[in-house]
């Protein structure tokens, strides 16, 4: 998260990928932040499936993910 907050989106991207593969407890938040990293790194096509998944899950990020997904489409 510190890399993301510092604007190191490429480094943060890899960190979130690792967290998602290793820790289920942080899955939703990590997917949300990873999707933002993808967008900021101009990888929108990688962000879309994550946003779609998050938009279909009841969570803190559901409505934001739905909105951002629609904006990318």
Query: Which pLDDT score, from 0 to 100, does residue 1 have?
Result: 87
Query: Which pLDDT score, from 0 to 100, does residue 3 have?
Result: 94
Read off the pLDDT of residues 2-23 as tens digits, 9 standing for 90 and up: 999 999 999 999 999 999 999 9
* Cβ-contact 57, 29 below 8 angstroms: no
Res 73 pLDDT > 90: no
pTM: 0.93
| Mean of all residue pLDDT scores within the chain | 96
Secondary structure of the chain as H, E, C letters: CHHHHCCCHHHHHHHHHHHHHHCHHHHHHHHHHHHHHHHHCCCHHHHHHHHHHHHCCCCCCHHHHHHHHHHHC
Res 45 pLDDT > 90: yes
């Amino acid at each position: 998260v510190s890399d993301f907050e510092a604007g190191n989106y490429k480094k943060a991207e890899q960190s979130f990928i690792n967290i998602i593969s290793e820790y289920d407890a942080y899955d939703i938040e990590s997917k949300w932040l990873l999707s933002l990293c993808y967008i900021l790194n101009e990888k929108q096509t990688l962000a879309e499936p994550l946003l779609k998944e998050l938009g279909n899950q009841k969570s803190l990020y559901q409505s934001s993910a739905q909105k951002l997904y629609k904006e990318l489409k």
